[in-house]
Amino acid sequence: MSQKKPTALEEISLGWQKILPEDVRSKTARVQDCSNDLTENEKRLTQDASPRRLNEFVTARRLARDLLDPSERNSLLERDQKSGAPVWPSGVVGSITHCKELCSVAISENGTLNSLGIDLEKIERVQFRFLSKIASEHEVKEMESYLSENEFSTDVALAAIFSAKEAFYKFQYPLTGAWLGFRDVEVQISDGKIHFAPKDETITNETLGTPQAILHVTESHVLSVVY
Protein backbone atom coordinates (compact mmCIF):
# COMPACT_ATOMS: atom_id res chain seq x y z
CA MET A 1 0.00 0.00 0.00
CA SER A 2 1.40 3.41 -0.97
CA GLN A 3 1.97 5.88 1.83
CA LYS A 4 -0.30 8.91 1.89
CA LYS A 5 1.47 12.08 0.81
CA PRO A 6 1.59 14.68 3.61
CA THR A 7 -0.30 17.91 3.10
CA ALA A 8 1.50 21.26 2.95
CA LEU A 9 0.23 21.98 6.46
CA GLU A 10 1.67 18.70 7.77
CA GLU A 11 5.00 19.28 6.01
CA ILE A 12 5.30 22.76 7.48
CA SER A 13 4.42 21.62 11.01
CA LEU A 14 7.08 18.91 10.77
CA GLY A 15 9.53 21.43 9.31
CA TRP A 16 9.21 23.72 12.34
CA GLN A 17 9.85 20.75 14.63
CA LYS A 18 13.12 20.12 12.78
CA ILE A 19 14.54 23.66 12.85
CA LEU A 20 13.18 25.41 15.94
CA PRO A 21 15.18 25.26 19.20
CA GLU A 22 13.96 22.69 21.71
CA ASP A 23 12.45 25.29 24.04
CA VAL A 24 10.36 26.89 21.28
CA ARG A 25 6.81 25.69 20.67
CA SER A 26 4.90 26.31 17.47
CA LYS A 27 1.48 25.91 15.88
CA THR A 28 0.49 26.13 12.23
CA ALA A 29 -3.05 26.35 10.89
CA ARG A 30 -5.02 27.45 7.89
CA VAL A 31 -6.17 31.06 8.07
CA GLN A 32 -9.77 30.99 9.26
CA ASP A 33 -12.70 33.24 8.35
CA CYS A 34 -13.07 35.00 11.69
CA SER A 35 -15.31 37.87 10.60
CA ASN A 36 -18.42 36.53 12.36
CA ASP A 37 -16.63 35.42 15.52
CA LEU A 38 -14.71 38.41 16.87
CA THR A 39 -14.24 39.39 20.49
CA GLU A 40 -14.57 43.08 21.38
CA ASN A 41 -10.78 43.44 21.58
CA GLU A 42 -10.35 41.76 18.20
CA LYS A 43 -12.91 44.14 16.69
CA ARG A 44 -11.00 47.09 18.14
CA LEU A 45 -7.63 45.92 16.83
CA THR A 46 -8.90 45.09 13.33
CA GLN A 47 -11.41 47.87 12.70
CA ASP A 48 -9.42 49.28 9.74
CA ALA A 49 -8.21 45.94 8.36
CA SER A 50 -9.17 44.38 5.06
CA PRO A 51 -11.01 41.03 5.33
CA ARG A 52 -7.81 39.14 4.45
CA ARG A 53 -5.68 40.98 7.01
CA LEU A 54 -8.41 40.62 9.64
CA ASN A 55 -8.50 36.85 9.21
CA GLU A 56 -4.68 36.57 9.27
CA PHE A 57 -4.43 38.77 12.36
CA VAL A 58 -7.10 36.99 14.37
CA THR A 59 -6.01 33.47 13.37
CA ALA A 60 -2.43 34.26 14.43
CA ARG A 61 -3.42 35.80 17.78
CA ARG A 62 -5.62 32.82 18.57
CA LEU A 63 -2.80 30.39 17.76
CA ALA A 64 -0.49 32.43 20.00
CA ARG A 65 -2.96 32.34 22.88
CA ASP A 66 -3.22 28.56 22.51
CA LEU A 67 0.57 28.32 22.92
CA LEU A 68 0.85 30.63 25.92
CA ASP A 69 0.59 29.63 29.53
CA PRO A 70 -3.08 30.12 30.57
CA SER A 71 -2.08 32.88 33.01
CA GLU A 72 -0.58 34.90 30.14
CA ARG A 73 -3.27 34.51 27.49
CA ASN A 74 -5.18 37.69 28.24
CA SER A 75 -1.97 39.73 27.92
CA LEU A 76 -1.69 39.18 24.18
CA LEU A 77 -4.15 41.87 23.14
CA GLU A 78 -2.14 44.83 21.90
CA ARG A 79 0.25 45.38 19.01
CA ASP A 80 3.27 47.60 18.53
CA GLN A 81 2.04 50.84 17.01
CA LYS A 82 5.08 51.22 14.75
CA SER A 83 5.56 47.67 13.44
CA GLY A 84 2.17 46.05 14.04
CA ALA A 85 3.90 43.13 15.78
CA PRO A 86 2.24 41.62 18.85
CA VAL A 87 3.27 42.89 22.26
CA TRP A 88 4.25 39.64 23.96
CA PRO A 89 3.78 39.12 27.71
CA SER A 90 6.80 39.79 29.90
CA GLY A 91 9.33 36.96 29.67
CA VAL A 92 7.96 35.67 26.35
CA VAL A 93 9.59 35.97 22.94
CA GLY A 94 7.62 35.03 19.87
CA SER A 95 7.11 35.47 16.17
CA ILE A 96 4.26 35.18 13.67
CA THR A 97 4.28 34.51 9.95
CA HIS A 98 1.51 34.39 7.33
CA CYS A 99 1.68 32.84 3.89
CA LYS A 100 -1.55 33.34 1.99
CA GLU A 101 -3.76 30.58 3.41
CA LEU A 102 -1.39 29.42 6.19
CA CYS A 103 -0.24 30.94 9.47
CA SER A 104 2.48 29.85 11.91
CA VAL A 105 3.31 31.09 15.41
CA ALA A 106 6.34 30.22 17.55
CA ILE A 107 7.04 31.22 21.16
CA SER A 108 9.57 30.64 23.93
CA GLU A 109 8.66 31.30 27.56
CA ASN A 110 11.72 30.18 29.51
CA GLY A 111 13.95 33.22 29.05
CA THR A 112 16.79 31.55 27.14
CA LEU A 113 16.31 33.55 23.91
CA ASN A 114 16.77 37.30 23.47
CA SER A 115 14.54 37.34 20.41
CA LEU A 116 13.00 35.10 17.76
CA GLY A 117 12.05 35.52 14.12
CA ILE A 118 10.27 33.03 11.86
CA ASP A 119 9.13 33.25 8.26
CA LEU A 120 7.20 31.03 5.87
CA GLU A 121 7.25 31.69 2.12
CA LYS A 122 5.65 29.92 -0.81
CA ILE A 123 8.47 29.29 -3.28
CA GLU A 124 6.49 30.28 -6.37
CA ARG A 125 5.57 33.63 -4.79
CA VAL A 126 9.15 34.97 -4.88
CA GLN A 127 9.81 35.52 -8.57
CA PHE A 128 13.23 36.01 -10.13
CA ARG A 129 12.27 39.34 -11.72
CA PHE A 130 12.30 40.79 -8.18
CA LEU A 131 15.95 39.83 -7.66
CA SER A 132 17.29 43.40 -7.68
CA LYS A 133 14.87 44.38 -4.89
CA ILE A 134 15.66 41.35 -2.72
CA ALA A 135 19.29 40.35 -3.09
CA SER A 136 22.50 40.65 -5.03
CA GLU A 137 23.54 38.03 -7.57
CA HIS A 138 26.40 37.12 -5.20
CA GLU A 139 23.91 36.32 -2.44
CA VAL A 140 21.92 34.09 -4.79
CA LYS A 141 25.04 32.22 -5.90
CA GLU A 142 26.09 31.66 -2.29
CA MET A 143 22.63 30.39 -1.38
CA GLU A 144 22.55 28.12 -4.45
CA SER A 145 25.85 26.64 -3.30
CA TYR A 146 24.50 26.23 0.24
CA LEU A 147 21.42 24.39 -1.07
CA SER A 148 23.20 22.50 -3.87
CA GLU A 149 23.41 19.26 -1.91
CA ASN A 150 19.66 18.89 -2.51
CA GLU A 151 19.82 20.25 -6.08
CA PHE A 152 17.39 23.08 -5.45
CA SER A 153 16.66 25.59 -8.19
CA THR A 154 17.51 29.29 -8.34
CA ASP A 155 13.87 30.04 -7.50
CA VAL A 156 14.32 28.15 -4.22
CA ALA A 157 17.56 30.01 -3.48
CA LEU A 158 15.86 33.39 -4.00
CA ALA A 159 12.88 32.37 -1.85
CA ALA A 160 15.32 31.19 0.83
CA ILE A 161 17.10 34.56 0.87
CA PHE A 162 13.76 36.41 0.98
CA SER A 163 12.57 34.24 3.86
CA ALA A 164 15.85 34.44 5.80
CA LYS A 165 15.82 38.24 5.58
CA GLU A 166 12.20 38.41 6.73
CA ALA A 167 13.02 36.20 9.73
CA PHE A 168 16.10 38.32 10.51
CA TYR A 169 14.03 41.50 10.40
CA LYS A 170 11.56 40.04 12.91
CA PHE A 171 14.46 38.89 15.10
CA GLN A 172 16.30 42.21 15.15
CA TYR A 173 13.39 44.65 15.41
CA PRO A 174 12.55 44.05 19.11
CA LEU A 175 16.26 44.54 19.93
CA THR A 176 17.01 47.58 17.77
CA GLY A 177 13.72 49.17 16.70
CA ALA A 178 15.30 49.57 13.24
CA TRP A 179 13.40 49.40 9.95
CA LEU A 180 15.35 47.40 7.39
CA GLY A 181 14.67 46.84 3.71
CA PHE A 182 15.77 43.72 1.84
CA ARG A 183 18.92 45.42 0.52
CA ASP A 184 19.78 46.81 3.97
CA VAL A 185 21.14 43.45 5.08
CA GLU A 186 23.27 40.90 3.24
CA VAL A 187 22.97 37.16 3.70
CA GLN A 188 26.45 35.64 3.97
CA ILE A 189 27.34 31.97 4.14
CA SER A 190 30.56 30.70 5.68
CA ASP A 191 31.51 27.36 7.22
CA GLY A 192 28.14 26.04 6.11
CA LYS A 193 26.25 28.55 8.26
CA ILE A 194 24.03 31.51 7.42
CA HIS A 195 25.10 34.92 8.73
CA PHE A 196 23.70 38.43 8.33
CA ALA A 197 25.59 41.65 7.63
CA PRO A 198 23.40 44.75 8.21
CA LYS A 199 24.60 47.83 6.35
CA ASP A 200 23.53 49.98 9.31
CA GLU A 201 26.74 50.10 11.35
CA THR A 202 24.78 50.75 14.56
CA ILE A 203 23.33 47.22 14.36
CA THR A 204 26.16 45.12 15.74
CA ASN A 205 26.70 41.76 17.41
CA GLU A 206 26.85 43.66 20.67
CA THR A 207 23.18 44.54 20.11
CA LEU A 208 22.06 41.30 18.49
CA GLY A 209 24.36 38.71 20.01
CA THR A 210 25.32 36.11 17.43
CA PRO A 211 22.06 35.16 15.71
CA GLN A 212 21.68 31.67 14.31
CA ALA A 213 19.67 31.04 11.15
CA ILE A 214 18.28 27.72 9.94
CA LEU A 215 16.30 26.98 6.77
CA HIS A 216 14.03 24.12 5.84
CA VAL A 217 12.64 23.53 2.34
CA THR A 218 9.47 21.55 1.61
CA GLU A 219 8.01 20.77 -1.78
CA SER A 220 6.22 24.12 -1.88
CA HIS A 221 7.56 26.34 0.92
CA VAL A 222 10.69 27.69 2.58
CA LEU A 223 10.76 27.97 6.39
CA SER A 224 13.29 30.17 8.19
CA VAL A 225 14.11 30.78 11.83
CA VAL A 226 16.57 33.26 13.34
CA TYR A 227 17.31 33.20 17.08
Q: State residue 152's pLDDT score.
A: 81
Low-confidence ranges of the chain (pLDDT < 50): none
Query: How many CB atoms are located within 10 Å of the residue 78 CB?
Result: 12
pLDDT at 75: 62
* pLDDT confidence of residue 3: 75
Give the model's pLDDT for residue 102: 96
pLDDT of residue 76: 59
Structural domain spans, the chain: 8-119, 123-226
**CATH code for the structural domain at 123-226:** 3.90.470.20
Asked if 8-119 and 123-226 have one fold, the answer is yes
Topology given in CATH for the domain delimited by 8-119:
Ribosomal Protein L22; Chain A (3.90.470)
The predicted pLDDT at position 119 comes to 97
Check residue 164 and give its pLDDT.
Answer: 96
Q: What is the pLDDT of residue 161?
A: 95
Which residues, other chains included, contact 224 with Cβ-Cβ below 8 Å and sequence gap of 6+?
117, 118, 119, 120, 121, 160, 163, 164, 166, 167, 213, 214, 215, 216
**How far is Cα of residue 204 from the mean position of the Cα atoms in its chain?**
21
E-assigned strand segments in the chain: 25-30, 93-99, 102-108, 117-122, 185-190, 193-198, 213-217, 221-226
